[in-house]
């Protein structure tokens, strides 16, 4: 029997039961872990499944279990930034694969506009997804708040600002990573070390700046606001920030940049200003994204363990869907030494 489109109607649990000579209940039991099933019955059912090519109908299952057996991957930042950001790819790929290993499909959702935010919130709270992997570190994200209030299992990438301890998250040790880079820059003999920060309403922006400040203070180098310029993680903002730094602190001899993409922009500004990297100004990035390999010279940077981050996000989310309490996971970073510093 075929539908209009020519796709054959797949076998159901009923076909398998007939083929195996058991009841549909028994088939369902072997499908769901095989508790309370005799070996003979299980074998017969498994053989029948192979013979018929049976695949469970997820809609029927979901209808009765109330679970969708799928999760959402939700972007709530202004999309441009994310899609420009090479980290996004790594994270998305990692999550897709980790989920696939559990046979859980990933639904991609982009909440760029207010209308989309409303639509997606309704979609999620209606239970069309069992939980969500949230990529939005901006504080006061209304979607995150609404989802949390609705009791939707949630795990954020990066510590959500101002959400208390109620929401799970997985993050790299931002402050430690920043500390390591700035210490390294100092170990090179640099003394006028500037920084280009991320957005200060994101945990990465705040923590990396804090790490920078701590190390300078510990080294006895006084705070100097002329050495600090804000960026928004985009390449263009890094370029603009570097120009400001150059104008306000021309004696700059190193810069710690809070993302590789911004560091690309910093490199461009430095080259335009005739400063050699690393001879005149050493540049350290953050992320170890693909962008770090595309620069001239290749970028010395702090590696974020994206593979582990995505795997942990999935693990924590699945656990929470299974009834466990929220959890926070912090993963160590690593200095990757290349040529820019």
Partner DNA sequence: CTGAAAGCGCTTACAG
Residues that bind DNA (CB under 7 A): 9, 12-14, 22-29, 31-32, 35-38, 40-41, 54, 56-57, 60-61, 63-65
User: Which residue in 28, 96, 183, 230 binds a copy of itself (CB under 8 A)?
Assistant: 96
Which range binds a copy of itself by CB under 8 A, 44-52, 123-131, 218-226, 243-251? 123-131
Kindly state the smallest distance separating residue 124's Cβ from a copy of itself, in Å. Answer: 10
Which residue blocks in 101-141 are alpha helix, DSSP H?
Answer: 114-123
Please tell me the distance from the alpha carbon of residue 282 to that of residue 210, in angstroms, as a whole number.
20
Look at residue 119 and give the partner it binds from a copy of itself, DNA, none, a contact being a CB closer than 5 to 8 Å depending on partner kind: a copy of itself
Kindly state the tokens that stand for 278.
């690393």
- Is residue 294 involved in binding a copy of itself (CB under 8 A)? yes
What are the distances in angstroms from CA 221 to CA 88, 123, 178, 217?
A: 35, 52, 16, 5
How many residues sit close enough to a copy of itself to count as binding (CB under 8 A)? Answer: 60
* Strand ordering across the sheet containing 228-230: 228-230, 193-197, 254-257, 282-284
Which range binds a copy of itself by CB under 8 A, 147-155, 161-169, 171-179, 333-341? 147-155
User: Which residue in 18, 42, 52, 107 binds a copy of itself (CB under 8 A)?
Assistant: 107
DSSP symbols for 131-194: EEEEE--STT-HHHHHHHHTT--EEEESPPTTSTTSSEEEEE-HHHHHHHHHHHHHHTT---EE
- Nearest one of 98, 143, 165, 173 to 331, comparing CA atoms: 173
Stretch 174-193: interaction string toward a copy of itself, x if CB under 8 A: --------------------
Q: How many CB atoms lie within 10 A of CB 153?
A: 23
* Strand segments (E) across the chain: 71-75, 106-110, 131-135, 154-157, 168-172, 193-197, 228-230, 254-257, 282-284, 301-303, 328-331, 334-336
- Is residue 4 involved in binding a copy of itself (CB under 8 A)? yes
Which range binds a copy of itself by CB under 8 A, 22-30, 32-40, 151-159, 307-315? 151-159
Kindly state the smallest distance separating residue 182's Cβ from a copy of itself, in Å. Answer: 26
Question: Which residues have CB under 8 Å from 19's CB, separation 6+?
Answer: 48, 51, 52
In the range 259-288, which residues lie near a copy of itself by CB under 8 A?
A: 264, 268, 271
Q: Which residues bind a copy of itself (CB under 8 A)?
A: 3-8, 10, 55, 57-60, 62-63, 66, 68, 70, 73, 79, 83-84, 88-90, 92-93, 96-97, 100, 103, 105-110, 112, 116, 119, 122-123, 125-128, 150-153, 235, 264, 268, 271, 290-291, 293-294, 296, 321, 323
């Amino acid at each position: 029997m075929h539908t209009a489109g020519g796709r054959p109607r797949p076998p159901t649990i009923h076909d398998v039961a007939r083929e195996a000579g058991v009841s549909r209940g028994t088939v369902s039991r072997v499908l769901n872990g095989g508790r309370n099933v005799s070996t003979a019955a299980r074998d017969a059912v498994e053989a029948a499944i192979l013979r018929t090519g049976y695949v469970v109908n997820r809609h029927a299952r979901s209808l009765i279990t109330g679970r969708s057996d799928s999760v959402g991957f939700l972007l709530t930042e202004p999309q441009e930034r994310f899609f420009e950001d090479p980290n996004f790819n790594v994270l998305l790929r990692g999550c897709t694969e980790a989920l696939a290993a559990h046979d859980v499909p990933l639904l991609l959702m982009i909440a760029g506009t207010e209308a989309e935010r409303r639509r997606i919130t309704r979609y999620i709270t209606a239970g069309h997804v069992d939980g969500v992997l949230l990529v939005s570190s901006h504080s006061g994200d209304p979607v995150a708040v609404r989802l949390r209030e609705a009791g939707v299992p949630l795990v954020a990438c990066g510590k959500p600002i101002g959400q208390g301890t109620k929401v799970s998250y997985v993050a790299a040790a931002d402050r430690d990573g920043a500390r390591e880079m700035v210490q390294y820059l100092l170990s090179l003999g640099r003394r006028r070390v500037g920084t280009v920060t991320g957005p200060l309403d994101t945990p990465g922006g705040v923590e990396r700046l804090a790490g920078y400040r701590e190390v300078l203070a510990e080294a006895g180098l006084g705070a100097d606001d002329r050495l600090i310029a804000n960026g928004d993680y985009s390449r263009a903002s890094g370029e603009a920030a570097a120009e400001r730094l150059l104008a306000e602190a021309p004696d700059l001899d190193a810069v710690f940049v809070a993302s590789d993409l911004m560091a690309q922009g910093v490199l461009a500004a430095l080259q335009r200003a005739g400063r050699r990297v690393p001879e005149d100004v050493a540049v350290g990035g953050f992320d170890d994204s693909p962008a770090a390999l595309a620069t001239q010279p290749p970028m010395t940077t702090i590696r974020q363990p994206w593979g582990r981050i995505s795997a942990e996000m999935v693990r924590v989310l699945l656990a929470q869907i299974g009834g466990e309490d929220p959890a926070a996971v912090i993963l160590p970073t690593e200095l990757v030494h290349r040529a820019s510093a």
